[in-house]
Amino acid sequence: MAAPSGGVEAAEEAEGLVLGRLEEEALKRRERLKALRQRTLQNKESGEPESKIPREEEEEEPIKHKEIKLRNYDPEDEELKKRKLPPAKPASVEDTVKEQLEAAKPEPIIDEVDLANLAPRKPDW
């Protein structure tokens, strides 16, 4: 009751086809990479930019760097000492609390009182 040998050979042939297809894809990928390398080398030699997008606008504008603000760092360099900010003074807490307390006080609202609304309702209502 041995299994027929035809099934094993078919599986090996299928694996061979899969491996053959993978090898072909790998060769195609290698060729594409070689072509890409050659193109980049030619672009570097000819002085052309790598990307096709023109970058004329960026070259015209100078690069703007942010001004350094030295808040917590005490520099040793004289030039950097000129850029150091003076120590910050904390805000007055008393003024802030007074403003909040004044804002929290409710304004008295006086509505006219209508006696009809204050009268008890009739028992047959």
Show me where the domains of the chain are located: 12-46
pLDDT in tens, 51-100: 554 454 445 556 677 777 777 888 888 888 888 888 888 878 898 899 89
Please give the model's pTM, rounded to 2 decimal places. Answer: 0.28
Do 49 and 55 touch, CB atoms closer than 8 A?
A: yes
- What is the SS3 string spanning 42-88? HHHHHCCCCCCCCCHHHHHCCCCCCCCCECCCCCCCHHHHHHECCCC
Identity at 51, one-letter amino acid code = S
